[in-house]
Amino acid sequence: MSEKKKLHPISAVANFLKQLKELIIPFVFLVFINRGESADGIWGWLPFIIGAAILVVLLIAGIIKWLRFAYWLEDGELRIEYGLFVKKKRYIPFERIQSLNLTEGILQRPFGLVKVKVETAGSTDMKQAEAELTAISKAEAGELQRIINEAKTAKRNKVAEEENEVVQESGEVIFKMTFRDLLLMGTTSGGAGVVISGVLIFLSQFDELIPYERVFNEVEQFVRSGVLLVTFVVIAGLLIAWVAAIIGTLIVYADFTVKKQGDDLIITRGLMEKKQMTVPLNRIQGVRMEENILRQPLGFATVKIESAGGSILEKESSTIQILPMVKKRRVAEIMKDVLPEYNFTVDLMPVPKRSLKRYLFRESLLVSAAVIGLSIAFWPLGLWSLLLYLPFWLFGYSKYRSAGWNINDTQLTLRHRFIEKNTLFMKKYRIQSLETTQNIFQGKKELANIKAIVKSGEAGAAGKVIDLDDESVRSIYQWYYPEKQSL
């Protein structure tokens, strides 16, 4: 592949759509700016003419970008030439390339193409991938992967070329989601709220275009027609949003498969947009287990890996779902084939009983203003608002019961709960920093907070425990800093 190669022409369309997506809100506003006014002659058509001109400019820019883009392999480097007006060159040594992530989108799939994102170690721009090939054939993508992997393998002298080819073609399936798993995942995802929020956010962008006064009048008449009918419509709307969330889950996670190929994990998923992500095992900084309030009673959890690298705009490349939904009791069995050095069956030490009051007090603060206001405004009936404390106290108690920690040889495990129960498994040599904090109120009760951070994206990923007893915090601190004997 030493000769210069061009992207497929569909790349021009992809460039056009990408730029159009960034301008969609002002573009729609411009087109409909004179919707309620009558203008004679060319002035009435001016917004549409400007809109059409913008489309033409964006399309021409997309075509020029495609024409000026070229890539090739030479002297152990992936070389790229690009630029709309000024031609730029980027040379990426093979040894810096951590993974090639493939996406088979709606535009690429009919032509047998894929989009390739190049993830590197020590990227200078955390806001995007190091390089992106918008549309190349699957054969070229496979050849690109093969050449880069063979060059890196030969340099490390780990395995022979023939063995490397066998590994690339096969691979051990670690985990695969069935249709039943996907259906249950969509049902318990809580995605209905996301769908409804997304619709509301989208509509909020067009508040100038929607006749709200007329809509509110219609709603008022509708409400007067009967509480039963209104209730039915609300429930029907929630059910539709719930079904839409389930369908979305089925589309995004269809054929979700995790394979282990040599020293890499290969994760593939997607129906309409098929994605393949390669994660080198040596980039894994920690393992996170999440249990949401719907799945925890059913014994299910989500397992994610925190990976070094990734961009700010693509958090998926740093925090990666490896087991989107799995029985918690199966996690250790599955993960032992991926990360045998981790222990996922540790018994966590709880926070002390004296910290329970602080957990309940923090949750009480969230509702106290409302209780006081209602009690004063509707005295004495407002005193019934004291019952609002009960669900918040239950939530605080749940946080208290969830919190815990464990040290097992070279592994630190920290667990806390916000909405989801969140457990982070970390190896000592992966921990970037260990922080302890204590305010004056905690000091009186001999309590403190601890937080450990591992590398993940730009900000890192944190595990923490709040209101842990001083002695436990000291034990963790001395385990991490054995040369220091006190906090």
* Residue 473 shares a structural domain with residue 438: yes
Inform me whether the pLDDT recorded for 405 exceeds 80.
yes
How large is the C-alpha radius of gyration of the chain?
A: 28
User: How does residue 425 score in pLDDT terms, banded at 50, 70 and 90?
Assistant: very high
Domain range for residue 262?
257-351+403-480
* Same domain for 280 and 146: no
Each residue of 407-421: pLDDT tens digit? 998 999 999 998 899
- Quote the pLDDT of residue 193: 52
Q: Which one of 123, 140, 168 terminates a domain?
A: 168
Phi/psi class of residue 21: alpha, beta or left (left: φ > 0; alpha: ψ in -120 to 50)? Answer: alpha
The rounded distance, in Å, linking the Cα atoms of 216 and 253 is 39
114-118-122 Cα angle (round to 5): 170
Q: Which residue has the tokens 């204590």?
A: 438
- Kindly state whether residues 236 and 265 are assigned to the same domain: no
Number of domains in the chain: 4
In this structure, is residue 117 part of a structural domain? yes
The answer to whether residues 454 and 328 belong to one domain is yes
Q: CB neighbours (10 Å) of residue 276?
A: 21
- Beta-bridged to residue 433, according to DSSP, are 453
In a domain, 216, yes or no: yes
For 287, 404, 406, the CA distances from 422, given in Å and listed in that order, are: 11, 10, 14
Q: What is the pLDDT of residues 353-385, one digit of tens each?
A: 999 999 999 988 888 888 888 888 888 888 888
Q: Are residues 344 and 437 in the same domain?
A: yes
Say if 291 falls within a structural domain.
yes
Lowest mean pLDDT among 68-82, 224-238, 297-311, 435-449: 224-238
Check whether residue 75 and residue 202 sit in a common domain.
no
- Are residues 362 and 374 part of one domain? yes
Please state the rounded mean pLDDT for residues 280-294: 90
Q: What's the pLDDT band for 51 if we cut at 50, 70, 90?
A: confident
pLDDT digits 0-9 by tens, 157-209: 544 444 444 444 456 889 999 999 888 888 887 665 555 555 554 444 444 44
**Predicted TM-score (pTM) of this structure:** 0.75
Looking at residue 453, its pLDDT comes to 93
In a domain, residue 340? The reply is: yes
User: Mean of the pLDDT values across residues 133-148?
Assistant: 87
Q: pLDDT tens for residues 439-464? A: 999 989 999 999 999 988 777 889 99
Work out the percent of the chain whose per-residue pLDDT is above 70: 78
Same domain membership, residue 368 and residue 219: no
Q: What is the mean pLDDT of the chain?
A: 80
Mark whether 144 and 242 lie in a shared domain: no
Judged by average pLDDT, the poorest of 36-50, 229-243, 291-305 is 36-50
Q: Is residue 110 part of a domain?
A: yes
Q: Is the same domain home to 306 and 420?
A: yes
